[in-house]
């Protein structure tokens, strides 16, 4: 019946994907384009909900309008880009946001975790590519904040999106889930904020001149410890 992904988390997952992409946009115009696309995606999700609960026609209108806005925003961003490379960096994130929309709207049935997983990987690329291409020497805190913030948002895409689908399968869209989603979301955001903060602090120590052996062992340590944390 109504086991569709819950509205709040699903919407926030779309917003997170959009925010992650917009955060690493080079110019304001491109960021605005991405934001417009994001708004379009949100409208699509709202339309899909309307179509199934209240009015098919109105819902369809919303969906089409949203898709149009998304396409428009993406196109505008691409057209007004100073640099094709910069636009290319934003592409995976936009596609990711689109996939989240599909997974959460939902396109079919009870939503798709798979789509959301792929979306989170795509959105992950945004800050990585951006930091790779542009920030060879991260100078100010703002640039670092943008990249780190975009990374946290990418994690939230998966967390909130998957929670939306999971809650939907457990209790459905009609049920009240506000506090559940809120508490869960706050926890995830806090973890991200702490990790990003820790990264920033650690960066302070990471100025050059380390002996190679130290770096070598530390890298190995990191790989081993991450492997330990797995599953």
Partner 1 sequence: MSKLTVLRLTLKALVFVLGAAAAAVGLAAFFMPGLADSFSFVRRLEATLGNDYLLVASVSAVALLLGLVFAFRGRAGTVQQAETPDAEGVESVPAPGDDFDELVGEAKGWRSREKKEEVRERVREAAVDVVASEENCSRPEAERYVDTGTWTADRYASSFLGGRDAPQLPLLTRLRVAYGGSPFETAATRAVEEVYERAKEDEDV
Partner 2 sequence: MSEQDTDADTDGRDSYPTRRWRGMTALALFAGGAGVLADRPLILLTAAVWVGYSAYPRLTGGTSVDLTVERELSETAPTHGDTVEVETTIRNEGGTLSDLRFVDGVPPTLSVESGTPKHATSLRPGGSTTFSYEVVAKRGRHSFVPATVVARNLSGSVEVDTTAFGETVIECAADIDDIELRKQASQYTGRVLTDEGGSGVEFHGTREYQAGDSISRIDWNRRARTGELITLEFREERSAKVLLVIDARPEAYVASADDEPSAVTYSVFAADQLFKSLLASRDSVGLAVVGREDVWLPPSTGDEHRTRAREILTKHPALVPSPPRRNPDEDQFRRLRKRIDSSTQVIVLSPLADDRMAEKARRIDARGNAVSVVSPDVTTDGSPGRELAQVERERRLSELRQADIPVVDWDVEVPLAKVLAHTREQWSG
Contact set with partner 2 (CB under 8 A): 2, 117, 120-121, 124, 127-128, 131-132, 135-136, 138, 143-144, 147-148, 151-152, 155, 158-159, 162-163, 166-167, 170-172, 174-184, 187-188, 191-192, 194-196, 198-200, 202-203, 206, 219, 222-223, 225-227, 229-231
Output 72 or 172, the one with its CB closest to partner 2.
172
CA dist 226 and 66 (Å) reads 40
Q: From the CB of 52, what's the least distance to partner 2, in Å?
A: 15
Half-sphere exposure of 3 (CA within 13 A, CB side): 8
CA dist 225 and 230 (Å) reads 9
52 binds, among partner 1, partner 2, none (CB under 5 to 8 A by kind): none
Output 60 or 199, the one with its CB closest to partner 2.
199
136 touches partner 1 by CB under 8 A: no
Task: Specify the residue for token string 């491109």.
Answer: 30
Output 70 or 156, the one with its CB closest to partner 1.
156
27 binds, among partner 2, partner 1, none (CB under 5 to 8 A by kind): none
Name which of 165, 92, 155, 152 is nearest 125 in CA terms: 92
Half-sphere exposure of 156 (CA within 13 A, CB side): 31
CA dist 32 and 192 (Å) reads 25
């Amino acid at each position: 019946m109504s086991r569709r992904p819950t509205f709040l988390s699903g919407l926030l997952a779309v917003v997170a994907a959009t925010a992650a992409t917009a955060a690493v946009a080079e110019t304001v115009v491109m960021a605005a384009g991405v934001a417009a696309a994001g708004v379009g995606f949100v409208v699509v999700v709202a339309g899909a909900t309307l179509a199934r609960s209240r009015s098919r026609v109105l819902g369809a209108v919303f969906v089409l309008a949203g898709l149009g806005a998304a396409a428009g925003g993406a196109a505008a961003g691409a057209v007004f880009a100073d640099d094709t490379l910069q636009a290319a960096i934003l592409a995976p994130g936009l596609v990711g946001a689109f996939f989240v929309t599909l997974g959460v709207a939902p396109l079919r049935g009870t939503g798709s975790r798979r789509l959301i997983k792929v979306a989170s990987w795509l959105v992950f690329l945004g800050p990585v590519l951006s930091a790779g291409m542009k920030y060879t020497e991260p100078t100010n805190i703002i640039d670092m904040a943008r990249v780190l913030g975009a990374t946290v948002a990418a994690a939230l895409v998966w967390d909130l999106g998957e929670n939306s689908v999971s809650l939907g399968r457990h209790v459905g869209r009609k049920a009240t889930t506000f506090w559940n989603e809120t508490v869960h979301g706050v926890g995830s955001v806090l973890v991200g904020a702490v990790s990003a903060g820790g990264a920033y602090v650690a960066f302070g120590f990471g100025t050059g001149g380390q002996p190679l052996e130290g770096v070598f062992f530390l890298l190995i340590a990191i790989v081993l410890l991450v492997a330990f944390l797995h599953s």
